[in-house]
Amino acid sequence: MGGSCVPTLRRLPAWKRTGSRFRHPAQVISTGFGAAVATGTALLSLPAATQSGHRAPLVDALFTATSAVCVTGLVTVDTGSYWSGFGQVVILLLIQAGGLGIMTLATLFTVLLSRRLGLRARFLAQAETRSLSLTDVRGVVRRIVLFSLISEAVVAVVLTLRFATAYDESLGAAAYDGVFHAISAFNNAGFSTNVDSLVRYVTDPWINLTITGAVILGGLGFPVVFELLRCWRRPARWSVMTRLTVTLTATLLALGTLVFTLAEYANPRTLGPLSVPEKFLAGFFASTMTRTAGFNSVDIGAMRPESLLASDVLMFIGGGSAGTAGGIKVTTFGLLAFVLWSEMRGETHVNVGRRRIPPSNQRQALAVALLSATAVATATFVLVAITSYGLEPILFEVVSAFATVGLSTGITGSLPPQADLLLAVLMFAGRIGPLTLASALALRDRTRRYELPEERTIVG
C-alpha cells in the first residue's frame, strides 16, 4: 500500500471548558474578526486617514474596514483618492491581517513571545488554518506566514519593476503600488489604488499574469499548497481536498475564460477593441478574479447579462478551503456534485477516488450551500426593496459581497447607508463562513441520547 501525503487523523476529545464564555473556537475567531473590524473602523475614522483631513463618515469607515478585514474589495469611496497614505496603510494592514487570519497571527505572536503553545491556542489555530492535525499547528502557522510573505515579496518585485520600466513611475511610487497590489492580490482582496482598478493594464500580460498567479496561489488554500509542494509528482497520493481543489479550480478557470471571452468577444465596451490574444488574456483575468479577488481589467458594468450571470455562479462557488478566497468553496461544490452523482447511480456511499466521504462532511457541505443561498436570496430581496436598482445589479452586488469577491457593476458608492450596512454584514458572514458563524452563535453543543423511529418521505 502506498503512503499518504497527509497526516494521520486522530479522534480528538471535545474542546470545552465548563464555565468558559467561548465554548467553541469558532466563537473566538468570530470575535477576533469583529475586533479587527472595530479597530479598523476607529483608525479610518481619524481625520488623518483621509486626504481632506476631515473625518470619514462612520458608514464609509465601517464598510471599508469590513471589506479589508474580510478581504473583499468592495468600496464606497475610491481608495487612492479618498484615503490618505495613513488610511491606505491601515487598509493594507487590515487586508494582511484578514488574509492570514486573526487567530493565525495571534498564535504566531504567542509562539514568538513564549515559545509555548497551549492546547486552547492549538485548537484556535487549527480552526482558523483548517489543518487536519494538532501535532504541528505551530509549524503550520510559521510556514503560512513565511510562505505568504515570500509570495507577496516576489509579486511585489515583479510589479514594481514593471510599473517603473513600462509606465514611467518613480521607483518609490512603483514600489508602493507594487507592494499594495501584491498584498491585495495574494490575499484575494481586490483593493487598488487606481480609480479604474486594473483597466489601464488590460493588455499588459506581465501585470495581468502576475496578479492572476498571486490570486490563484492565495486562493488554493495553505493545506493544498503545502501538500502540492510535498507530493506534486505523485497525484495518486493527494488527499481528497487537494484533488477536488486542484481539479475544480483548473476546470472552472478554463470554463470561465471560455465563457467570458465568447460572451464579450464583440462587445465594443469590453473585449471588442482588443486583439484575439488580448481577448483571451482579459477573459482569463476575469475568470480568475471571480474566484474571488475583485480586480477588474474591463468595465464590469458594461458586461453582457450572460457574463454577469456566469460571474454570479463563479463567485458563489469561490475558491479553495483555508485560503484567502471566499464563496462556498470548490470543495463544498465538489462534494455536492459527488453526492448527486452517487445518488443518481443508486450508490449507498459517496466516494471520491479511493476514499469514502463520511456523512458528516456531506451534511456540512449541504448546510453551507443552503445557508449561503438563503443569505444571498434574503439580502437580494431586501436590497431590491429598499433601492431603485433592478435585480441584476443587486444580485451581482450581493453575491460579490457574500462571496468576499469585491467586483461591482458600479453601484456600491450610490447605495443608501442601510444597504451598505447590510453588505457589510454579508461580507463578515461570508468571510467567517455560514457554518462557522452559526456554530459560533450556538450556546452549547447538543447531543441526542436516543434515536427516533425511521420513516421515509417522498422527495421531489
Q: Got the DSSP string for 38-102?
A: HHHHHHHTSGGGBSSSSPPPHHHHHHHHHHHHTT----SS-HHHHB-HHHHHHHHHHHHHHHH-H
State the Cα–Cα distance between residues 39 and 97, nearest whole angstrom.
12
Q: Is residue 2 part of a domain?
A: no
Q: Is residue 364 part of a domain?
A: yes
Largest CA distance in the chain: 74
DSSP 204: -
Helices (H) and strands (E) in the chain, counts: 18, 2
Angle at CA of residue 129, ends 40 and 239, nearest 5°: 150
* Residue recorded with cell 453526492: 339
Amino acid 175 reads: A
3-state secondary structure of 356: strand
3-state secondary structure of 143: helix
Given pLDDT bands bounded at 50, 70 and 90, which one contains residue 129? low
Q: Is residue 377 part of a domain?
A: yes
As a whole number, mean pLDDT of residues 340-344 equals 91
DSSP 236: G
State the Cα–Cα distance between residues 87 and 83, nearest whole angstrom.
5
Which pLDDT belongs to residue 131?
Answer: 53
* Residue recorded with cell 471535545: 14
Question: Is it the case that residue 113 has pLDDT exceeding 50?
Answer: no
* Distances from the Cα of 120 to the Cα of 19, 61, 322, 457, angstroms: 15, 33, 20, 43
Q: Is residue 227 part of a domain?
A: yes
Q: Is residue 61 part of a domain?
A: yes
Question: Is it the case that residue 344 has pLDDT exceeding 50?
Answer: yes
Which pLDDT belongs to residue 8?
Answer: 47
Task: Compute the half-sphere exposure of residue 101: CA atoms within 13 Å on the CB side of its CA.
Answer: 29
Question: Is it the case that residue 130 has pLDDT exceeding 50?
Answer: yes
Given pLDDT bands bounded at 50, 70 and 90, which one contains residue 160? very high
Question: Is it the case that residue 115 has pLDDT exceeding 90?
Answer: no
DSSP 358: P
Which pLDDT belongs to residue 202?
Answer: 96
Task: Compute the half-sphere exposure of residue 168: CA atoms within 13 Å on the CB side of its CA.
Answer: 0
3-state secondary structure of 242: helix
Q: Is residue 394 part of a domain?
A: yes
Which pLDDT belongs to residue 122?
Answer: 57
Q: Which residue, among 35, 188, 179, 29, has the nearest Cα to 104 in the 3D structure?
A: 29
Q: Mind listing the pLDDT tens digit for each residue in 14-70?
A: 444 444 444 556 677 788 889 999 999 999 999 999 999 999 999 999 999 999 999
pLDDT, the chain, mean: 86
Q: Mind listing the pLDDT tens digit for each residue in 69-95?
A: 999 999 999 999 999 999 999 999 999
Which pLDDT belongs to residue 1?
Answer: 45
Q: Mind listing the pLDDT tens digit for each residue in 293-315?
A: 889 999 999 999 999 999 999 99
| Parent domain of 245 | 25-441
Question: Is it the case that residue 323 has pLDDT exceeding 90?
Answer: no
Phi then psi dihedrals of residue 177, to 5 deg: -65, -40
State the Cα–Cα distance between residues 288 and 308, nearest whole angstrom.
14
Which pLDDT belongs to residue 11?
Answer: 46
State the Cα–Cα distance between residues 257 and 286, nearest whole angstrom.
7
Angle at CA of residue 46, ends 179 and 61, nearest 5°: 70
Q: Is residue 14 part of a domain?
A: no
pLDDT: which is higher, 211 or 129: 211
Q: Got the DSSP string for 159-197?
A: HHHHHHHHS---HHHHHHHHHHHHHHHHTT----SSTTT
Q: Is residue 15 part of a domain?
A: no
Q: Which residue, among 423, 421, 393, has the nearest Cα to 408 in the 3D structure?
A: 393
Count of domains in the chain? 1
Given pLDDT bands bounded at 50, 70 and 90, which one contains residue 234? confident
pLDDT: which is higher, 412 or 8: 412
As a whole number, mean pLDDT of residues 319-337 equals 87
